[in-house]
Amino acid sequence: MLTFLAYFVATVFLVGFLSRIFVYARSPAPLKIPTTPAPTTRLGVVWRLFTEVVFFNSLFKSDKLAWAGGLAFHAAMAVVLIRHARYFVDPMPAFVGPLQIIGIVAGVVMAAALAFLLLRRLVFERVRHISSRADYWILFLLLGIALSGLLMDFVLRPNIVAIKTQLLTMWSSVTGLPPLNSAGDVMFLLHLLLVGALLVIFPFSKLMHAGGLFFSPTRNQVDNPREKRHVAPWAKALD
């Protein structure tokens, strides 16, 4: 059952995500519209995007609270994801072992940052005004994932070793279910289902900012319109 779900989730996520990226990549950008001052070289653009992705440069300039909450959440999530390699890869990569403590701290930071972002959305009038139900549900979903994960670390420990063995062999068995012998095991199943839900809605929601950012013309274009003629295919037909 879980195997079937896993294949379903993976397919929806991968096909959905890649097809959105394909749409972005295929749609032409007929005019040069970088927000200036902008880099005048390709390398400069790579650096600009790097600072946006890693440091949230523009957000830092505009909203310090959103920046702090957003960066804390994303950075913590990155560490948590790397730590999760211990559950999927056998043998476990050497660098993942020492990440155990940092990973758990990151899990706490992730949940705290999400709670902060939720609070911010509720408290500040302007942010509350622009929020739709979907904006809250995505936050709840992420919070649910983080909290169920933390609960397994601190309170309801599932039988991780059994689950990992099961997971690694599961792909060959269509009916495979993880063991459900304790509250911890149930918590694990819940955790997994919430992650599945997140991955399924990913390509159809604002979560696509993860891939879309790289296709934002105001950020990814080189400022060289005088030096280099830039013409989109559909515009060429008008020449």
Binding residue (CB under 8 A) for other proteins from 52, 113, 187, 196: 52
Please state, in angstroms and rounded to a whole number, the distance separating the CA atoms of residues 186 and 191: 9
Pick the closer one to other proteins by CB: 59 or 156: 59
Q: Is 42 in the site for other proteins (CB under 8 A)?
A: no
Asked whether the CA dihedral 117, 121, 124, 130 is positive or negative, the reply is positive
Segment contacting other proteins by CB under 8 A, of 148-156, 157-165, 179-187, 228-236: 228-236
Q: Is 125 in the site for other proteins (CB under 8 A)?
A: yes
Within 192-221, which residues bind other proteins (CB under 8 A)?
Answer: 201, 204-206, 208-209, 212-213, 215-219
CA distances, 27 to each of 15, 19, 155, 202 (Å): 18, 12, 49, 21
Within 129-148, which residues bind other proteins (CB under 8 A)?
Answer: 129-135, 137
Please state, in angstroms and rounded to a whole number, the distance separating the CA atoms of residues 14 and 23: 14
Binding map of other proteins across residues 1-30, x = CB under 8 A, - = no contact: -------------------x--xx--xxxx
Q: Minimal distance in Å, beta carbon 208 to other proteins?
A: 5
- With residue 114 as reference, give the H or E element that holds it: helix 99-123
Pick the closer one to other proteins by CB: 128 or 155: 128
Q: Is 238 in the site for other proteins (CB under 8 A)?
A: yes
Structure-block tokens of residue 67 = 């920046």
Q: Minimal distance in Å, beta carbon 224 to other proteins?
A: 9
Residue 160 near residue 87, CB atoms below 8 Å: yes
Q: Is 47 in the site for other proteins (CB under 8 A)?
A: no
Q: Is 119 in the site for other proteins (CB under 8 A)?
A: no
Please state, in angstroms and rounded to a whole number, the distance separating the CA atoms of residues 199 and 191: 12
Segment contacting other proteins by CB under 8 A, of 61-69, 96-104, 108-116, 151-159: 61-69
Work out the angle at residue 144's Cα, subtended by the Cα atoms of residues 168 and 195, and round it to the nearest 5 degrees. 35
Where b means 16+ CB within 10 Å and e means fewer, 145-179 reads bbbbbbbbeeeeebbeeebbebbeebeeeeebebe
Please state, in angstroms and rounded to a whole number, the distance separating the CA atoms of residues 65 and 120: 8
- Would you tell me which residues interact with other proteins (CB under 8 A)? 20, 23-24, 27-33, 35-40, 52, 56, 58-59, 61-63, 66, 70, 120-121, 124-127, 129-135, 137, 201, 204-206, 208-209, 212-213, 215-219, 223, 225-226, 229-232, 234-235, 238
